[in-house]
Amino acid sequence: MPAPDYLCGVDAAIDVVGGKWKALILWALEPGTRRTGEIRRELPGITDKVLVQQLRELERDGIVHRVVHAEVPPRVEYSLTRSGRELNTALDALAAWGDVNRERIAATRAQG
């Protein structure tokens, strides 16, 4: 599979965090290492399949670190890498904008 040809940094960043769940997964991992079930409880509505898929993609992109502990049953923990923490810092401004504009956006969309 050929490497993507990004037009700019925004293009590359959106490719990494695009979709409904990835930015929310990063938000859930901000406080520290979490197990899959802990992340799922932070994100009502996400299915196990989608959560694991999104975590694997974030791991592939070097945003999330995955550790499997050799126990029965196996314990899997996820944490942000340095790049993941930097990405969360970059998303802070987007989150602030969303907080300021969330009610306006909801009202505009409710009007149809």
Residue type, 27: W
Residue type, 87: L
pTM of the model: 0.88
What pLDDT shows up at residue 4? 81
Q: Please say whether the beta carbons of 11 and 17 come within 8 A.
A: no
Cα–Cα distance measured from residue 27 to residue 108, given in angstroms and rounded to the nearest whole number: 26
Q: How many CB atoms lie within 10 A of CB 54?
A: 21
Burial class (CB in 10 A: 0-12, 13-18, 19+), 55: buried
Residues ≥6 apart with Cβ < 8 Å to 2: none
What pLDDT shows up at residue 1? 67
pLDDT along the chain (112 residues), means of 10: 84 92 97 96 96 97 96 93 96 94 94 84
What pLDDT shows up at residue 3? 76
